[in-house]
Amino acid sequence: MPDLLTFFSGFFSAQALQALIMPFDFDFMRRAFLVVAIVCMPMSLLSCYIVLKGWSLMGDAIAHAVLPGIVVAYMLAIPLSIGAFGAGLCCAVTTGFIKDNSRLREDTIMGIVFSGMFAVGIILFHKAETDLHLTHLLLGDVLGITDAGVIETSIIALSVLLVILVRGRDLMLLIFDPQQAQVTGISVRYWSYGLQILLALSIVAALQAVGMILSIALLIVPGACALLVTKRFSQMLWIAMAIALSCSLLGVYTSFFIDSAPAATIVLYMASIFCLLFSYKIYSNNRLVSARNNGVSPLVHAIALKAGQ
């Protein structure tokens, strides 16, 4: 017993607690916590919509396509977010135009458009004389974000969040029943482009936090994890937001101690949660099949499984 008390007293000593709260002593860490918390909220909500609509590749396409816009914006000495949004919007509109005027599948079109725009961005980046760091563009630089960057990111992210909260029912109807949406007076084509614009804006907001490449994880993984847990859309939204927020904060916090890239650490946490949830889903399904083969009612087995948790 004394050894146990000694252990806990040492664990909760002033030195240990000081070490645990050390990340919050630095301004750049506090800004990083704030930015990832703000960015992950609209992106986690959007992830539920695009996962159910099957638009995961669209998010990936827009994330890659913003590179030429960033380089052009730098060359013109205008805010990078404007160039990134313009390129993302161009990608979405081009994809929609080709889809409406060809027999090609949407995923084929997106693959052509985003790879072409990304290639243009790489060429422009190497030809133009810039002091932009490609690693920061691809992987983010949340620890180096300035107060102005925090304000800009917050305005974009909160604007996307506001649109989702106000017009979320229209987006939900668009995804689950486009024909009913058309009957009720909702322009399916208009809101399809609107959803793509929201994707572009959310990726622009996430540029400094997680970069172009890893922003796709925030647009897919939270919704995919939530879909493994529940089939009710309202619950999906809350679960996705909780997963994204906890992983984002834990990722930044952990990266401080292990000296790793915050964006990669955030995505690693999300991927780990997905693997755990998927493994549990497989385990539960196998037990259900086994019970059914043994003549046990699925309802009885489900009640017993829930009681045993």
Transcribe 76-89 into DSSP letters.
TTS-HHHHHHHHHH
pLDDT score for 309: 52
| Alpha carbon distance 59, 55 (integer Å) | 7
Domains of the chain: 26-290+298-307 (1.10.3470.10)
DSSP string, 174-207: HHH-HHHHHHTT--HHHHHHHHHHHHHHHHHHHH
Question: What are the φ and ψ backbone dihedral angles of 288, each rounded to 5 degrees?
Answer: -65, -45
R_g of the chain, CA atoms, integer Å: 22
Q: One digit per residue, pLDDT tens: the chain, 309 residues? A: 455 555 555 555 667 777 788 888 888 899 999 999 999 999 999 999 888 888 777 777 788 888 888 888 888 888 888 888 888 888 888 888 888 888 888 778 888 888 898 899 888 888 877 667 777 777 778 888 888 888 888 898 899 999 988 888 888 887 777 777 777 777 777 888 888 888 888 888 888 777 876 788 888 999 999 999 988 888 999 999 999 999 999 999 999 999 888 888 999 999 999 999 999 888 887 777 676 666 555 555 555 555 555
**What tokens does 12 get?**
């909760």
pLDDT score for 1: 47
Q: Are 161 and 45 in contact (CB under 8 A)?
A: yes
pLDDT score for 185: 77
pLDDT score for 108: 86
- pTM of the model as a whole: 0.82
**67 to 74, 198, 207: CA distances (angstroms):** 11, 18, 10
Q: Are 127 and 137 in contact (CB under 8 A)?
A: no
**What tokens does 32 get?**
């990083």
| Alpha carbon distance 47, 220 (integer Å) | 5
pLDDT score for 286: 78
